Amino acid sequence: MDNNVGLKPMDAEQLRDYAHQMVDFIADYYKSIENFPVLSQVQPGYLHKLIPDSAPNHPESLQNVLDDVKAKILPGVTHWQSPNYFAYYPSNSSVAGFLGEMLSAGLNIVGFSWITSPAATELEMIVLDWLGQGGGVIQGTASEAVLVVLLAARDKALRKVGKNALEKLVVYASDQTHASLQKACQIGGIHPENCRVLKTDSSTNYSISPDLVTEAISHDVGIGLIPFFLCASVGTTSSTAVDPLLELGMIAKSNEMWFHVDAAYAGSACICPEYRQYLNGVEEADSFNMNAHKWFLTNFDCSALWVKDRNALIQSLSTNPEYLKNKASQANLVMDYKDWQIPLGRRFRSLKLWMVLRLYGLENLQCYIRNHIQLAKHFEALISQDPRFEVVTPRLFSLVCFRLLPPHNDEDHGNKLNHDLLDAVNTTGKIFISHTVLSGKYILRFAVGAPLTEERHVNAAWKVLQDEASTLLGSLVE
């Protein structure tokens, strides 16, 4: 191709040629992904030294660009799809999800209302009914999901008690709830002192105590405040703790509060019948969220949100300017998802979830989840065989929380020891794990969930941890 001509805006044959090259590049990346350091080893600002200060005046070849991706971009990538990635929570990719993403990008619709592409709205409704019946919408992330339901709950409460009561509204959650709730409160204008972060501890495996919630609500009502929002978690970020949904749901109902369930990570496991026990009481929820892009083989971003009262969401978020009016919407014959989210524009995200469900099928998806849980059990067993380590919290899904025990039970030194162990294993580039703090202790997290992870990768990760622990403990003796 003549570099002086450049790419045409949308040329089918150019697309065919370049797309084949790009697919080959990505396929080769996955074939060699184990060869990369899992956690990027570059220093801040590295890319500024490698890329020119301004864009080129003339077009370059795709090969030149891909060469730069290989030489300059990939060293600065942390490889979330690596089989040796065990940090945070997984962000799954798959052939099916990738194909859906490709198709969505190719169609490139902006599906804010039904008329802008009827299939986008209707497929989203159908696919979310496949996954969980009724009132579903795809948000970008769980952070967006909790924000929109908090705004809906806030406005619903203010319509009842008066708009001037905003400073009296109170939110309740545990200290294990994802920090996105705090951000949602900030955006929603909830007074910082009215965000009740209730303490959890090891006695309840870090799930929230219904008695503590009841006590906090009674106190607030007694001083003239208005409880309006209660957030529970199924699979907290730190330790996969599960809050008691049934009891919390009844508390919320008796106090006329909005009850939201955040199952961003662990919700995927509930496609397996044996894990649905953790959703006991979910029928009491006003809203429920899970991230299909975490553990459900659906490329980021795709966060499924269901709401019991969609009108509350629409009343809070709807706008209807003249330039968006159309016959179908005006006649209330269709759903317009622009009224269920913060932005107007939205991508055709249901395509990738639809393709995952169809190309894998329920049985394969269940096997996928169960395999990761079994690998986590295997890692847990390995830890239990080494007296230098301990498992800190019960493993419910595919996360293992553990730590290296400090010599002579010196707890003051224990946090630094585990911090140093985390740095040491991640610096090797062989694996990537992350941490949390529970009851004041620095805890290491091992989250199994990458699509390519096998037992051999878990065994190799454990070897890295043991070797680095031996080095650290040996240095203490010296």
Every domain of the chain and the residues it spans: 110-347
Cα distance between residue 306 and residue 262, in whole Å:
11
Tens of pLDDT along the chain (478 residues)?
444 567 788 789 999 999 999 999 999 999 999 999 999 999 999 999 999 999 999 999 999 999 999 999 999 999 999 999 999 999 999 999 999 999 999 999 999 999 999 999 999 999 999 998 878 999 999 999 999 999 999 999 999 999 899 999 999 999 999 999 999 999 999 999 999 999 999 999 999 999 999 999 999 999 999 999 999 999 999 999 999 999 999 999 999 999 999 999 999 999 999 999 999 999 999 999 999 999 999 999 999 999 999 999 999 999 989 999 999 999 999 999 999 999 999 999 999 999 999 999 999 999 999 999 999 999 999 999 999 999 999 999 999 999 999 987 777 788 999 999 999 999 999 999 999 999 999 999 999 999 999 999 999 999 999 999 999 988 876 5
The residue type at 288: F
Burial category of 477 from C-beta neighbours within 10 Å (exposed 0-12, middle 13-18, buried 19 and up): exposed
Q: Give whole-number Cα distances, 340 to 133, 154, 180, 239, 319, in Å.
A: 17, 15, 18, 31, 10
Q: Which of 117, 113, 134, 112 is nearest to 125 (CA)?
A: 134
Cα torsion 391, 394, 396, 401 to 10°: value is -30
Task: Look up residue 306 and give its two tokens.
Answer: 């269901």
| Structure confidence at residue 7 (pLDDT) | 78
Question: How many other CB atoms sit within 10 Å of the CB of residue 23?
Answer: 12
Burial category of 327 from C-beta neighbours within 10 Å (exposed 0-12, middle 13-18, buried 19 and up): exposed
| Structure confidence at residue 475 (pLDDT) | 82
Q: Going edge to edge, which strands form the sheet with 434-438?
A: 389-391, 399-404, 441-447, 434-438
Q: For 224-236, what is the HEC assignment?
A: CCEEEEEEEEECC
| Contact call for residues 267 and 291 (beta carbons, < 8 A) | yes
Task: Look up residue 88 and give its two tokens.
Answer: 């945070």
Give the CA diameter of the chain. 80
Strand partners, 390: 403
Cα distance between residue 202 and residue 392, in whole Å:
9
Using DSSP, state whether 449 is helix, strand or coil: coil
Q: Which CATH number fits domain 110-347: 3.30.310.50, 3.40.50.2000, 3.90.1720.10, 3.40.640.10?
A: 3.40.640.10
Helices (H), 55-198: 62-68, 95-107, 118-131, 142-161, 180-187
The residue written with tokens 């090797």 in the block is: 428
Cα distance between residue 219 and residue 222, in whole Å:
5
Cα distance between residue 280 and residue 258, in whole Å:
18
| Structure confidence at residue 134 (pLDDT) | 78
**Containing H/E element for 126?**
helix 118-131
